[in-house]
């Protein structure tokens, strides 16, 4: 797993393949 960094943040805001394209978790963060 990659550590939470700017790369992860960008993915969370756009689309997270790890979460199966679930952008809901980004709002929870």
**Residue-by-residue pLDDT tens, the chain, 29 positions:** 556 555 655 555 565 566 655 555 555 44
Which segments of 1-29 does DSSP mark as H helices, in order? 6-14, 24-28
User: Rounded CA gap, 16 and 9, in Å?
Assistant: 10
pTM: 0.16
């Amino acid at each position: 797993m990659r550590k939470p960094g700017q790369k992860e943040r960008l993915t969370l805001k756009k689309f997270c393949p790890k979460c199966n394209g679930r952008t809901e978790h980004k709002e929870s963060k």
